[in-house]
A and B are shown apart, each in its own frame.
Chain A
Amino acid sequence: EDQVTQSPEALRLQEGESSSLNCSYTVSGLRGLFWYRQDPGKGPEFLFTLYSAGEEKEKERLKATLTKKESFLHITAPKPEDSATYLCAVQEGTDKLIFGTGTRLQVFP
């Protein structure tokens, strides 16, 4: 069965303390891997798309990378406003997205 697993479930960081979130997947034919950010009471907001192993994307303090089995979302020198739930989703051979359950990130000043 196709699966997307995110770890850790929750992460508490001090402001400026860099870390990484993991998304591992088992799908037969990956068409794309997507990272979303979700703030409380809001819908997910698109961050990045990755299509092939070795690909990297950056946006401000965030960098997403992709291997054949997993993706990492690296957060460099995070700020309190980076606090959110980060969702990973994969698109396999159909039009569907399969979402992980997310990592809840809290950044303290």
Chain B
Amino acid sequence: DAGVIQSPRHEVTEMGQEVTLRCKPISGHDYLFWYRQTMMRGLELLIYFNNNVPIDDSGMPEDRFSAKMPNASFSTLKIQPSEPRDSAVYFCASGHGGTLGLAFFGQGTRLTVV
């Protein structure tokens, strides 16, 4: 298995533009997590899905952020409109139910909003 695959690896966009981050989880995993990592706040959970259903989105900073999981092999995190304070590394991770700490992370998407 190739592991969790995220795209793009790097994204530079102008303030106000829409940004879409993509994630392909490991086949067979029933949990998918979106995290954001910054120097100041570390790793923060934004939202997670179980069997493609959003379970907890309390970490989503505001309405500009949305996430979808249309099927078991694909998820997106969208920011519209983007702002400079959204600049961070966004990670997607997947895991099995019952061993959620054993999450497998993707390589991340480094987002820069100018």
Contacts and interface: CB of A to CB of B under 8 A. Distances in A.
B42 A34 contact: no
Contacts of A71: none
B25 interface: no
A59 interface: no
For A34, A44, A98, which residue has the most chain B Cβ atoms within 10 angstroms? A44
Chain B interface secondary structure, helix, strand, loop or mixed? strand
B105 A43 contact: yes
Contact of A97 (B101, B106, B108): B101
A108 interface: no
Contact of B100 (A87, A95, A100): A95
Contacts of B31: 95
Contact of B45 (A32, A97, A100): A97
Chain A interface secondary structure, helix, strand, loop or mixed? strand
A96 B45 contact: yes
A43 B100 contact: no
Interface of A: 32-34, 41-46, 49, 87, 89, 91, 94-102
Interface of B: 4, 31, 33, 41-45, 48, 50, 55-56, 91, 93, 99-108
